[in-house]
Amino acid sequence: MTDTAANKLDPPVDPARDHVLGPAEAEMTLVEYGSYTSRSCHAVHDVVEGLRGRFGDRMRYVFRHLPAPDSADAVRAAELAEYAAEAKGKFWEVHEALMERGPAFADGDFERIARDFGLPPADAATEPARAAARARVREDAEGAGRSGVRLTPTFFINGRRYAGTWDESSLADAMLGSLGHRIQAAAFEFVRWGPSSGLLLGLATALALIVSNSPAGPAFLSWWETLFGFRWGASAFAITLLDWVNHGLLTIFFIVVGLEIKREFTVGHLATFRSGALPVIAAIGGIALPALLFSLIAPAGLRHGWGIPIGTDTAFAVALIVLLGTRVPVELRVFLTAAVIIDDIVAIGVIALFYTGEVHASYLIAGGAVTALLVVLNRAGVYATLPYAVCGVVLWFFLHEAGLHATLAGVVLALLIPTRPPANLTALLAQASAVIRHEQRRAGEAMRPGPSEPALRALDAIHARIDSPADKLLRTVEPWSSYAVLPIFALANAGVAWSADAFRGHGPLMTAIVVGLVVGKPVGIVAAAWLAVRSGVAVKPAAYSWRQLCGAGALGGIGFTMSLFIAGEAFPDPADFAAAKIAIFIASLIAAVLGTVILYPRRRDEARPDRDDSAAAAAAPNA
């Protein structure tokens, strides 16, 4: 099930089946998945009543069941409401009674409600109605699963899941479809769609190419060379807009890369040797062979660009994998993601070691001092993000002035921002409940309009402890990296005028890049993986075949972001850089088409060869 599908109501509202309050022609439909033993559902019951009073016949309300599976009372209450509907057509009357008595039910409550509404007692004659009630509750729970419902209450407005707060004002804005809510909902919907970041990156690239090859092209390209900076007293710091993008904004991308590397090597797929051996070894092959082929083919004076074909563009590769859907096993997605992480690690090292100009020792020492301070903050258990943010900005400046790539500050910051052991959610929830109950008891006091400041501070502390600063930072900056930084990077760097002059005299360089990405990447990845499996060092999961691994290797040839970045550092000459850009575009397009063609056919009976491979790998050490 895709994220987008899980946000739609399934099944849609059916007046012949659902319990509906309000006219069928109402312009707004609010569906609630709820439970009679849920305190939250009882809390929002008054909110729903307020909405019905506010909108009248413009709104219809539907209630569906999602009783807590570990609560016998929740299931029994839901079945009682459905039995009332089957036996007497009194669903809403019993629904209101259950809402008034719950969420905690005493012994005899269900029997009293049944007597109050004249429901027939359980016997052979009423068993068909009771069986239908039980089936209806099961159907609602199954529909909740298909609709992506995980907690109660969960609301759907006109068939789309509502992700906002449960207060009446926010729900009313969403139901009315205010401009702000429509923009926010559309943005969330777009971000939830797997290929969205790759699509946005592709659109930015296409826009850069179109403008660069239009009459406005020279002005567009020269605009990125505009100086921008700061002045204080007699001192000044100014760099071009292109450098602000490549060395400033791209630092956010490197923070994300660093945090993902940290996560993979601590709790992810690279945390143990056995789980990480295959993608690590395959990635090394996919780095070494493209670099070697480039060095063999490129002209002697341009061989220092061997780092161009070693990277893989995560956004484009993941977008294609998501579009292929179930044709790509989850295990293969994990393999490619882990291999891309290794690519990023090596690319960062290559940039730092081989594409750095003159180093200024004084600024380098100052950068080392800031890094030491970050280590001290980490070791001292400082979990506030502000000190790390300030140190990160200062470190960026010192690295830039030292002659190193300032984007490395993002990696250093990501690696040194602290993590925490997983929180005890049971204890935190108990603490939060205690704070809220205390505030509720005093809610009616005079001159007390809202929660007290100590209570808000306590809730802030609980919220801050739920996840570590590193996880929180990744969750915060990753969308900015995917949906702002990388598209702006593409807009600034992908522009190139396509002309015969760009190809003239650069054939060997362009061939080296294309061969490195289109041939070197997949052959290197697959060959290294095959050797690792045959030697017994790693085991290939049976979930994907060697053909599918070849397809993933081909997608690894989509270089783009990192390739463009390294090309810009390797080739200061505009003509060389333009030729490299065109070659990267051509190679990435070929790699994308090739990988898609290989992965598109659905796998048939390829499990037997996989088992043979695994068996051979397991037996190899004993051979």
What percent of the chain shows pLDDT beyond 70?
A: 90
Of the chain, the end-to-end C-alpha distance in Å amounts to 44
SS3 category, 227? strand
268 has pLDDT over 90: no
CB count within 10 Å of CB 464 equals 15
Out of 438-442, 446-450, 517-521, least confident range: 446-450
441 has pLDDT over 60: yes
Any idea what the CATH number is for the domain that residue 81 is in? Answer: 3.40.30.10
To the nearest 10°, report the CA torsion of 362, 367, 369, 372.
-150
229 and 83 in a common domain = no
pLDDT band at 176 (very low <50, low <70, confident <90, very high): confident
State mean pLDDT over 552-580. 88
pLDDT of residue 318: 74
620 has pLDDT over 60: no
pLDDT of residue 622: 39
The answer to whether position 394 is within a domain reads no
Any idea what the CATH number is for the domain that residue 497 is in? Answer: 1.20.1530.10
227 and 102 in a common domain = no
pLDDT of residue 2: 46
185 and 141 in a common domain = yes
Distance CA 123, CA 78 (A): 19
State mean pLDDT over 154-164. 90
The structure tokens listed for 273 are 């040797």
132 and 259 in a common domain = no
The answer to whether position 380 is within a domain reads no
349 and 481 in a common domain = yes
pLDDT of residue 615: 42
The answer to whether position 539 is within a domain reads yes
pLDDT of residue 425: 79
pLDDT of residue 613: 44
Out of 207-221, 265-279, 542-556, least confident range: 265-279
* Residue of 542 and 325 predicted with greater confidence: 542
Residue 59 phi, psi dihedral angles, 5° rounding? -130, 145
241 and 183 in a common domain = no
352 has pLDDT over 90: no
Number of structural domains found in the chain: 3
The answer to whether position 113 is within a domain reads yes
DSSP secondary structure letter of residue 244: I
pLDDT of residue 369: 95
The answer to whether position 88 is within a domain reads yes
Nearest to 334 by CA among 278, 254, 288, 253: 278
- Write the pLDDT tens digit of every residue in 495-511: 777 777 777 788 899 99
612 has pLDDT over 60: no
| CA within 13 Å, CB half, 256 | 17
Distance CA 4, CA 212 (A): 35
pLDDT of residue 192: 61
pLDDT of residue 356: 74
State mean pLDDT over 578-585. 90
Distance CA 174, CA 510 (A): 52
**For the whole prediction, is pTM greater than 0.85?**
no
559 has pLDDT over 80: yes
pLDDT band at 3 (very low <50, low <70, confident <90, very high): very low
293 and 256 in a common domain = yes
pLDDT of residue 448: 62
450 and 429 in a common domain = yes
pLDDT of residue 1: 44
pLDDT band at 185 (very low <50, low <70, confident <90, very high): low
Contact 600, 324 (CB under 8 A): yes
Contact 335, 278 (CB under 8 A): yes
Of 175, 192, 209, which one is at a domain's C-terminal end? 192
pLDDT band at 191 (very low <50, low <70, confident <90, very high): low
Nearest to 174 by CA among 385, 7, 28: 28
pLDDT of residue 606: 45
The answer to whether position 388 is within a domain reads no
State mean pLDDT over 75-100. 93
217: domain range? Answer: 197-356+405-419+469-622
pLDDT of residue 205: 86
431 and 459 in a common domain = yes
109: Cβ–Cβ under 8 A, 6 or more apart, which residues?
A: 101
pLDDT of residue 184: 60
170 has pLDDT over 90: no
State mean pLDDT over 334-357. 80
pLDDT of residue 614: 42
Distance CA 353, CA 563 (A): 16
219 and 317 in a common domain = yes
The structure tokens listed for 192 are 């939830």
The structure tokens listed for 81 are 């409401």
239 and 332 in a common domain = yes
340 and 232 in a common domain = yes
Q: Is the dihedral of CA 446, 450, 452, 453 positive or negative?
A: negative
Average pLDDT over the chain reads: 84
595 has pLDDT over 70: yes
Of 141, 172, 192, which one is at a domain's C-terminal end? 192
- Write the pLDDT tens digit of every residue in 23-38: 988 888 999 999 999 9
Distance CA 60, CA 621 (A): 68
400 has pLDDT over 90: no
* Residue of 364 and 445 predicted with greater confidence: 364
- Write the pLDDT tens digit of every residue in 197-251: 778 888 888 898 899 888 988 898 889 888 888 887 777 788 889 889 888 888 8
| CA of residue 622 relative to chain centroid, distance | 42
pLDDT of residue 549: 92
The answer to whether position 364 is within a domain reads no
Of 192, 226, 250, which one is at a domain's C-terminal end? 192
The answer to whether position 115 is within a domain reads yes
